[in-house]
């Protein structure tokens, strides 16, 4: 069975600072990896995904993530955050042969002026 | 293009009452998902439909939850009777399907229905 651990439940940062949201996964088979963002009272929006190929994946809103198979990690990064990046971020995993997305418990990113 | 529509957006009920949620997926999306998101947790898949057939309902509490997708388009999720622990946001998502091996069809999420059980 697959699982996802998001190591930080809350990450406060100042505007224009860099940020990293950490995600580790567990699976006995090959997986696809995802980061979703959820703004208050809204559904989830896909930020980026890793399916295969280059381990550095670029997404929307200036975010990127790096897949590290040996460390089973998929950390999300942004070099300079904005107030508008304040939201809940979810890491998710799906077995390549399966259909179920398994989400982590989320990281609340709060960007302060 | 219209997104996934859900109604109602908010619902408050007493425990032991019944409640139903409605979802209209993106036009042409064959796969529909219902997720439960309890406060402070990530979404958990309750049920997945491919057209009007059930693909995965292993995490659906079938003694009180039911879902249907008549005609392979709209779907309803029902809880009867509700318990306090059912308080959560219920998210509907849809995607194109079936997918080719090695590809992924993105899931598009609706805004959710926030259920409060008192």
Is A90 part of the contact surface with chain B (CB cutoff 8 Å)?
A: yes
Strand partners, A13: A111
Cα angle vertex A113, ends A9, A7, to 5°? 15
- Residue B49: partners with Cβ closer than 8 Å, 6 or more residues away: B31, B32, B33, B55, B67, B69, B72, B75
Size of interface A-B (CB pairs under 8 A): 50
Interface probe for B, chosen from A31, A44, A57 (most Cβ of B below 10 Å), is A44
Please report the beta strands in chain B, taking only residues with DSSP state E, as ranges in sequence order: 5-7, 10-13, 19-24, 31-37, 44-50, 53-56, 65-68, 75-79, 88-95, 108-109, 113-117
Q: Give the minimum alpha-carbon distance from A16 to chain B in angstroms, rounded to a whole number.
A: 27
Could you tell me which chain A residue has the CA closest to the CA of B113?
A: A41
pLDDT of res. A90: 97
pLDDT tens figures, A45-93: 999 999 988 899 999 999 999 999 999 999 999 999 999 999 999 999 9
Q: Is A103's CB within 8 Å of B107's CB?
A: no
pLDDT of res. A80: 97
pLDDT of res. A96: 85
**Which residue in A86, B39, A87, A25 sits closest to A34, CA to CA?**
A25
| Run means of pLDDT, 10 residues per run, chain B, 118 residues | 91 97 94 94 94 92 94 94 96 82 80 96
Q: In whole angstroms, give the CA distance from residue A91 to residue A75.
A: 9
Could you tell me which chain A residue has the CA closest to the CA of B99?
A: A99
- Residue B118: partners with Cβ closer than 8 Å, 6 or more residues away: B12, B13, B14, B15, B84
Closest CB from A43, A51, A106 relative to B104: A51
pLDDT of res. B105: 81
pLDDT tens figures, A93-104: 998 887 789 999
Q: In whole angstroms, give the CA distance from residue A94 to residue B7.
A: 28
Structure tokens belonging to residue B70: 């008549």
Q: Give the minimum alpha-carbon distance from A41 to chain B in angstroms, rounded to a whole number.
A: 7
Kind and range of the H or E element at A91? strand A87-95
């Amino acid at each position: 069975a697959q699982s996802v651990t998001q190591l930080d439940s809350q990450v406060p940062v100042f505007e224009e600072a860099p940020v990293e949201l950490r995600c580790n996964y567990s699976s006995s088979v090959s997986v696809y990896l995802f980061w979703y963002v959820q703004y208050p009272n809204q559904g989830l929006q896909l930020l980026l995904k890793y399916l295969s190929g280059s381990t550095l994946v670029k997404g929307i809103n200036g975010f990127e993530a790096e897949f590290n198979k040996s460390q089973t990690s998929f950390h999300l990064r942004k070099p300079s955050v904005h107030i508008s990046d304040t939201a809940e971020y979810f890491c998710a995993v799906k077995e390549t042969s399966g259909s179920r997305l398994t989400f982590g418990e989320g990281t609340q990113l709060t960007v302060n002026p | 293009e219209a997104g996934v529509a859900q109604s109602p957006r908010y619902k408050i009920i007493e425990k032991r009452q019944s409640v139903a949620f409605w979802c209209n997926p993106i036009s042409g999306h064959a796969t529909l998902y219902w997720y439960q998101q309890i406060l402070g947790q990530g979404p958990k898949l309750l049920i997945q439909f491919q057209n009007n057939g059930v693909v995965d309902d292993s995490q659906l509490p079938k003694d009180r939850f039911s879902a249907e997708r008549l005609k392979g388009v709209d779907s309803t999720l029902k809880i009867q009777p509700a318990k306090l622990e059912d308080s959560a946001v219920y998210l509907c998502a849809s995607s194109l399907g079936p997918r080719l091996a090695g590809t992924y069809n993105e899931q598009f999420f609706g805004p959710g229905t926030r259920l409060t059980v008192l």
